[in-house]
Copies of this chain bind each other. A is one copy, B any other.
């Protein structure tokens, strides 16, 4: 966490004492490491104690939520330079196991208590989708193949290895119909981005690396699947995207690069639809026809996405922003999307209980 934060400050070309506030996105440091108060902890370890600092939590959308609070802090006019840092440490769990920690995203008394797991809940969504739209699992499972292909060239990715559709379909069944290679992995990670006011930006030397937060929004849905009108659409995505697009004055067709929260392959497909890039029930066609590839209609998860770059929960929302920024700065190497001007990142908490959507624009 500290390493990512200091790297981001250095990358921004700022002395660290310019940082005025810290937002840490994290879900499970309490249950897993016995550590809360990550805001003051990071301020201390960064050597900037004194600044305002907070932890923001919204399950797997904690990173996006921290980014959003950082955005609001600068927008308020009270801060000129804020850092949003996402972090999760999942492989060194001290006081609870990861599966128990993750289900804390859903209602403890009505859902978790029954023994439901997070992958189990997403399996319900998967089944409903296959039934409702007549899609086949092999069309959905392609999302994992897609992500792995792009992770190969991302030196920060967790799995830099291409996989085939047969690998996915033959991998162990975790919760019917979800196969192991359809699940984003457990892992440790951190990511950080610095947000500055327009006033502060004018004082920076390296203005050529700038990206504008053109739009950002968050929305919720009823927390648990049993309360929803539909299992196959995340209404929080639709709401957050609509607001963020409006703020940025864009429409889906203006987007050059997209990061979606594919915690499971089925979610990747549903997100592409809910974000307005395909009609409901037809996201898998976009995937199958190669329209999510670099160079095609809507390049998606171009650095590996949750499935292959990794999904260290609280870090993910910030990682997504970082990956979009890489594209807008033309730093994505072999995976570069030519002429990328506008990027969108979508971060999801729980089974869509919270969604944060951010629109980033390259500053010419």
Residues of chain A whose beta carbon lies under 8 Å from any beta carbon of chain B = 21, 27-28, 30-31, 33-41, 43-44, 49-59, 65, 68-69, 72-73, 75-78, 95-96, 100-101, 103-108, 112, 217-224, 227, 235-236, 239, 349-350, 353-354
Contacts and interface: CB of A to CB of B under 8 A. Distances in A.
Nearest to A349: B37
Given A35-B104, A35-B108, A53-B354, A58 B40 contact: yes
Given A57-B36, A58-B39, A354-B39, A217 B52 contact: yes
Contact of A36 (B33, B35, B95, B105): B105
Contacts of A43: 220, 223
A188 to B, nearest CB: 15
15 contacts: A31-B31, A36-B105, A37-B57, A37-B58, A40-B349, A41-B107, A41-B223, A50-B221, A52-B217, A53-B354, A54-B57, A55-B56, A55-B57, A69-B72, A72-B72
A354 B40 contact: yes
Copies in the complex: 2
A95 B95 CA distance: 9
A41 B223 CA distance: 6
B52 A227 contact: no
Contact of A44 (B53, B76, B227): B227
Contacts of A349: 37, 40
Contact of A50 (B50, B224, B236): B236
Given A40-B353, A40-B354, A220 B34 contact: no
A100 B40 contact: no
B53 A220 contact: yes
Given A28-B36, A51-B219, A52-B217, 11 more contacts: A36-B105, A37-B57, A39-B65, A40-B59, A40-B349, A40-B353, A44-B227, A50-B239, A55-B58, A56-B56, A75-B78
Nearest to A218: B52
A220 B33 CA distance: 22
B58 A65 contact: no
Given A227-B44, A353-B40, A49 B104 contact: no
A43 to B, nearest CB: 4
Contacts of A223: 37, 40-41, 43-44, 49
Closest 6 CB pairs of A and B: A40-B353, A52-B218, A75-B76, A36-B104, A35-B108, A37-B59
